[in-house]
Structure 1
């Protein structure tokens, strides 16, 4: 039986999709099991780590901003009655609040959105890398999905109602669109990541670098960067509208500025802290729970090769300006890592390992980009970028 290239590609894609759905199921089922069986130890044995801030705030937003009158879980008692977690953007808290409305306000339901988002990341990576590209990228898409689903931090952060998995999810889509040279759609999802947690803003630097890489030092690059920044700002502001309406624009602006200042300050001694470089080697992982023990472990076997690959490719591109220099995973990985170091050097020396989950999708794509380069892939071929909006 003779099969043409198109048929082989379709069959390979379907087989790859089935495999990747298995990866996503593994991530989701593992995260769900942890979410169901882990308690916070304190906080009425319900709230895991910083969930007390985000869940309490989500509930208050739901009741006081959106007027919800349904049944509520007992208040944690650990935060002030007028506390809304203004130091972080609101989108993830809106989604947690929505889960309370749809599923009910109880611990496992606070975490269901995190479980779903974490499980979708391997699938998004596969679809983003493989659709419209040659058969090589189907196999590289499977590999990227496997790498992401093997990163311990993805499963751990998919099991708790913290903000970082939301930023990681939207950044995954942003990186995929950037990979496909659609920088404006990428900017939309960088905006969504930034509206979930401010660490998503590191993606803006990545899009600026990619704009210069794609268009050179031309007016078009400057125009594209201006559009990217405008899109990110507009997307973020959209999700602040309910808070602007309820609390007043000036009040929210003051609170947000105060939150960004707070981001650049060290926290009181307590939980294990580590530098961004320490995350590469799983130094001092953050302890989320002691019952059972749940640590925000990173995966050195992924992070170290990803960093070596990213630095090697990035420096090579700067020095030699080769035509394979448009590499979205590499640029996002370097930009996010650099962003965390800027925060550290600016004065916040209490960074926690769970922040690093937003590096997971970038690490996965960086590694397959490195493999593609070893295989001789050039960006000029119609392999991995379909459009350039």
Structure 2
């Protein structure tokens, strides 16, 4: 009875620690980003496009307490080069609070907090629960909270935190064998930004391993995510004149855009980075107002060198965790070799939670394995033997 009471108390302490972490994270977020009454980085494009969605698609015009950015054609800009979900979510807050920096940043702040909670439960689950599992989950949440790239991108109104969160949540449900929810959230990740599209490959593999049915693999791995994507995009499809016209626009604005240079002038060397350069935090993107999209090289190299641990331990779920991260990294690498040499360090945020969580989980799992193999001390050997 005493043991059960003690276990309940320890569990509550873990939840209290998580709540404190989320509370501090929220406080520092508001303190850091709320005072900046200006566009930060690519906020010049996305909140403005969100407001234009309200104005032109939904015929709603909330009060503008803040002016449009100074970009050319911004008053009619619709950002067809990226899927619409993140802008739709911003629209909810803009419709309620008006067009103002805090309104368009609030959803990113909320997703950043929720990501810490998902990391805690995912890490705990992958490590088998218990005290060690919960400690690992808490450390995974802490690793994400300390990630400089996630910190910046969750604080501002850009798209990467949306794809990052929904992909991470999809993975959590996948590992809990809640395949329908995992499929839906994978579609929502893709509806936030296109880097999530490559996650279809590890997702299909895992679903096939679980269900052993080509039909169900197709339904859950392709049909449902595609349906979620199209459902989110339906207002844009209707606005652009139907499915065929929308597909043409998507090809021109998204596919052609993503595999060519043009995101920034090639001469802006200090702003451009490469997927392999992210391992050394080469040319972190400057967002203005003193904000840089830095990447922690120590975590990146820990991820690189700890990836074999999952395969050595033959832990299928750990393998999937690291492969989700590597799949997105390889997707960016492919885009680079297809012709887009204007890439940025903040793209790392799209798969950062997989990296941070895997590093913690793999090291904890290795430690548990080593402790389990340690021979127990033979107490009988220490007892003096009476001669016969």
Cα RMSD, aligned residues only = 2.3
Unaligned runs of 5+ in 2: 371-388
More displaced 10-residue stretch of structure 1: 275-284 or 262-271:
262-271
Name the counterpart of 2:95: 101
Pick the aligned partner of 1:241 from 231, 234, 243: 234
More displaced 10-residue stretch of structure 1: 191-200 or 64-73:
64-73
Q: Quick check: 1:174 aligned with 2:170?
A: yes
Name the counterpart of 1:279: 278
Shift in Å, 1:114: 1.1
Shift in Å, 1:221: 5.6
- Alpha-carbon separation, structure 1, partners of 2:10 and 2:285: 40
Instruction: Give 4+ residue runs of structure 1 displaced > 3 Å after superposition.
Output: 7-10, 128-135, 181-184, 211-215, 375-378
Contact 1:52 1:79 in 2 (8 A): no
* Matched positions, count: 359
Contact 1:122 1:148 in 2 (8 A): yes
Pick the aligned partner of 1:264 from 256, 259, 265: 259
Pick the aligned partner of 2:61 from 69, 75, 96: 69
Contact 1:88 1:197 in 2 (8 A): yes
Name the counterpart of 1:354: 346
Cα deviations across residues 199-257 of structure 1 (Å, max 9, x unaligned)? 12132122123235546xxx526632442111111111011111122221233211111
Which structure carries more relative contact order (alpha carbon 8 Å, separation 6+)? 1
Q: Quick check: 1:48 aligned with 2:43?
A: no
Pick the aligned partner of 2:147 from 140, 146, 151: 151
- Could you state the TM-score of these two structures normalised by the residue count of structure 2? 0.85
Cα deviations across residues 32-68 of structure 1 (Å, max 9, x unaligned)? 23322346xxxxxx22221111111101101111111
- Alpha-carbon separation, structure 2, partners of 1:71 and 1:266: 36
Q: Which SS does the other structure have where 2:317 is aligned? A: coil
Name the counterpart of 1:325: 316
Pick the aligned partner of 1:371 from 359, 363, 366: 363
Name the counterpart of 1:84: 78
Pick the aligned partner of 2:333 from 334, 341, 347: 341
Contact 1:86 1:252 in 2 (8 A): no
- Alpha-carbon separation, structure 2, partners of 1:109 and 1:165: 16
More displaced 10-residue stretch of structure 1: 141-150 or 359-368:
359-368
Cα deviations across residues 159-194 of structure 1 (Å, max 9, x unaligned)? 211000111111221121223233432221111111
Query: For residues 220 and 226 of structure 1, do their structure 2 counterparts lie closer, same or farther at Cα, with a shift above 3 Å needed?
Result: same
Query: For residues 79 and 231 of structure 1, do their structure 2 counterparts lie closer, same or farther at Cα, with a shift above 3 Å needed?
Result: farther
- Alpha-carbon separation, structure 2, partners of 1:92 and 1:377: 41
Shift in Å, 1:107: 1.6
Name the counterpart of 2:19: 21
Query: For residues 222 and 280 of structure 1, do their structure 2 counterparts lie closer, same or farther at Cα, with a shift above 3 Å needed?
Result: farther
Cα deviations across residues 241-294 of structure 1 (Å, max 9, x unaligned)? 1112222123321111121221111223336111112112211000001x3x11
Contact 1:174 1:185 in 2 (8 A): yes
Unaligned runs of 5+ in 1: 40-45, 379-389
Name the counterpart of 1:3: 3
Q: Which SS does the other structure have where 1:284 is aligned? A: coil
- Alpha-carbon separation, structure 1, partners of 2:369 and 2:173: 19
Shift in Å, 1:141: 0.7
> Who wins on radius of gyration, i.e. which is larger?
2
- Alpha-carbon separation, structure 2, partners of 1:340 and 1:184: 27
Contact 1:207 1:228 in 2 (8 A): yes
Contact 2:306 2:363 in 1 (8 A): no
Name the counterpart of 1:43: none
Q: Which SS does the other structure have where 1:345 is aligned? A: helix
Q: Which SS does the other structure have where 1:170 is aligned? A: helix
Q: Which SS does the other structure have where 1:287 is aligned? A: strand
- Alpha-carbon separation, structure 1, partners of 2:194 and 2:153: 17
